[in-house]
Amino acid sequence: MTTPDRPVPPIAKRAYWFWIAGAALLIVMGVVFLIFSIAVVKVFGVIVIVVGVGIIQMARMALAPDPRWRSSLAVLTLAITLVSTLFAMLQLAFAIFTLIAGLLTLVGSLIAYRPAAEEFFTGKTRKADGAA
């Protein structure tokens, strides 16, 4: 997992794998919804699968030195977590797994915004403390 011009630091790899793990869980849950549910929930399953695939694609694009992908992914993961939390509060049976997936992707976004990862995701070097 390297971009053509630079290696991926360990903290960026952790963020990437949290994004991938959460997205994979979303896709699995979407397939489960399609197989074992009624028509209304099947629509939700398709949406969950599309969002999971979108997160995987955005995570791959976030490895490029363009902070917009990382920001977009952070907003998407926050929205997924908020919607999943709302469903969990309504005590819907499937909500716990989508909530776990949302939290995994949200952890990936939080790791991506750590100062140690900032340099990699933005493509800019940090100034040393006390430098002008």
Residue 9 is predicted with a pLDDT of 87
The per-residue pLDDT for range 71-105, each reduced to its tens digit, is 999 999 999 889 888 888 877 767 788 889 989 99
Q: Indicate the pLDDT class of residue 123, thresholds 50, 70 and 90.
A: confident
pLDDT for position 22: 94
Length of the chain: 132
- What are the tokens at 35? 């197989």
pLDDT at 2: 46
Residues 6+ apart with CB under 8 A from 8: 1, 2, 16, 63, 120
Q: Check residue 6 and report its DSSP letter.
A: B
What is the predicted pLDDT for the residue at 44?
82
Q: Is the predicted pLDDT of residue 124 greater than 90, yes or no?
A: no
Contact 58, 127 (CB under 8 A): no
Give 4-61 pLDDT, tens digit per residue.
Answer: 467 888 998 999 999 999 999 999 988 988 888 777 778 888 988 999 999 999 999 9
Instruction: Give the Å distances, CA to CA, from 27 to 45, 48, 82, 113.
Output: 8, 6, 18, 25
State the number of CA atoms in the 13 A half-sphere of 59 facing the CB.
28
Give the DSSP letter of residue 3: B
Quote the pTM value.
0.84
Q: Which of 58, 102, 52 is nearest to 80 (CA)?
A: 102
Helix, coil or strand: residue 127: coil
Q: Is the pLDDT of residue 130 over 60?
A: no
